[in-house]
Amino acid sequence: MSFKIYLARPRGFCAGVDRAIEIVRLAIKKYGKPIYVKHAIVHNKYVVRELEKEGAIFVEDINDIPDNSIVVFSAHGSPPKHYEIAKKKNLKVIDATCPLVSKVHKEAIEFVKNGYYIIYVGHKNHVEAIGIRGEAEDKIDIIETKEEALNYIPKSEKLALLTQTTLSVDDTKEIIDVLRKKFPQIILPKKEDICYATQNRQDAVKRIAKICEVVFVIGSKESSNSNRLREVAEKYGAKSYLIESYEYIDDNWLNNVKNVGITSGASTPEILVQKTIDYLLERGGEEVIEIENAIERIKFQLPKI
């Protein structure tokens, strides 16, 4: 059994994830242990465990954080009520919300202020969608599928459309096409609202999926963008598996394959990719070929800590 290993590039950490992790580390360095983090800073268990070792305590409910503590809000964004609770508890909030997510929050606020009803294309239970909806719960509806779009009954003639940043142009195209046809007056999302990292990683995995029988997407089951990468790889012809690390690989998946692809979600550290490569090289991998689809130079400014 021998096969080539194709690596998608770009893959792994995006600028928003890099920024969020650095914020937690800088907060620990400045204020000492413990630093509380509301929700997983990014959706990757390895990253969370490493930060826990350094002194971060992760909580899902802001009410569980002791009064007068330091808290970092995760990269996914938070509803306004969490900031209000933090103020009542005298918490010092360090906001690690991805700037691209913050931009969508600001647009939602502006649309509601100007009398628009918002249709948000995303996953209802995803923390990013929950944060956006918190800006004006009675003025935002979340649509997940084409069927929901077809059956949607508007609550206003003034409609605006926003999308979850972890969804690409391809992910939302069908739904947006339906909504545009049904509601020609709807204000569409700005092109710059599309997360560059989500789109780049999907475009990169398309290229390797076309030449590989199997593609491993390294990422967490909770990671929206990692799940989408697996779906894209399947759509473009490869048998695809979403795994948290090489330890989840079933060697039977490698039977009779000539080309194996690897990519990773935007919350996945490169060390997990390298360990997967090492594992595959021990099991018949002969050559590692990196297929570059885009060069990313974006870096987001850090907040005051």
What is the set of active-site residues? 128
Non-local (6+) Cβ contacts of 18 within 8 A are 299, 300
**147: its two tokens:** 């069927």
Please report how many Cα atoms fall inside a 13 Å half-sphere around the Cα of residue 184, on the Cβ side.
0
- CA–CA distance, 172 with 145 (Å, rounded to integer): 9
- CA–CA distance, 207 with 97 (Å, rounded to integer): 31
**42: its two tokens:** 């990014």
Query: Which residue reads 């079933």 in tokens?
Result: 250
The strands making up 239-243's β-sheet, listed across from edge to edge, are 239-243, 214-218, 259-264, 3-9, 285-292
272 and 11 in contact (C-beta within 8 Å)?
no
Length of the chain: 305
* 3-state secondary structure (DSSP) of residue 216: strand
Main-chain phi, psi angles of 22, to 5 degrees: -65, -35
**Which is nearest to 242 in space by CA: 212, 262, 271, 266?**
262
